[in-house]
Amino acid sequence: MRAINRLIHLGAARRNWIALLLLGGVLGCSGGDNLDRREVRGAVTYSGKPVQEGTITLFPIDAGMVASGKIENGRYEIPRYQGPIPGEYRVELTGLQATGRMIRLEEPGMAPQEIPEVKSILPAKYNDRSELTLTIDREQQVTVSDFLLEE
């Protein structure tokens, strides 16, 4: 059971980082897609403490593109060139914490390796079951929104 839990936690963490990498690859660095994007930034705390590492993902409620960024040291920023267009979004937040243990990762076609084990610190009501929303206003170039999460 412990091995399965490790893989579940690893799977969620890897899935989020892979999504960020793919998003960056699709969008590139130029931001030359001619969309009316906005910068989004703010703080993320859980039970009064800054979330040290994680992701924020904005899913359009109506039309638009998904926007995502990293949470580091309790702060997040989605730069304009990767940001959302004006509209309503559902917000998913993940928070990760190292357990201090190493786990063995074995994937087909790759040499086994030891990687740090991480666990999710935020409950599902803030990630895949999130009802958090955010409005990106057409009149503002930067949206600042803090997420002060409780247990």
- What burial class does residue 122 get, using C-beta atoms within 10 Å of its C-beta: 0-12 exposed, 13-18 middle, 19+ buried? buried
- Quick check: 35 pLDDT over 50? yes
Whether the pTM exceeds 0.75: the reply is no
For the CA atoms of 151, 137, 76, 132, the dihedral, rounded to the nearest 10 degrees, stands at: 20
Q: What is the pLDDT of residues 49-85, one digit of tens each?
A: 999 999 999 999 988 899 999 999 999 999 999 999 9
**Domains along the chain with CATH numbers:** 2-149 (2.60.40.10)
Categorize the per-residue pLDDT at 33 as very low, low, confident or very high, splitting at 50, 70 and 90.
confident
Structure tokens at 65: 């593109």
**Any bridge partners for residue 118, and if so which?**
98
Give residue-wise pLDDT tens across range 111-130: 999 999 999 999 999 999 99
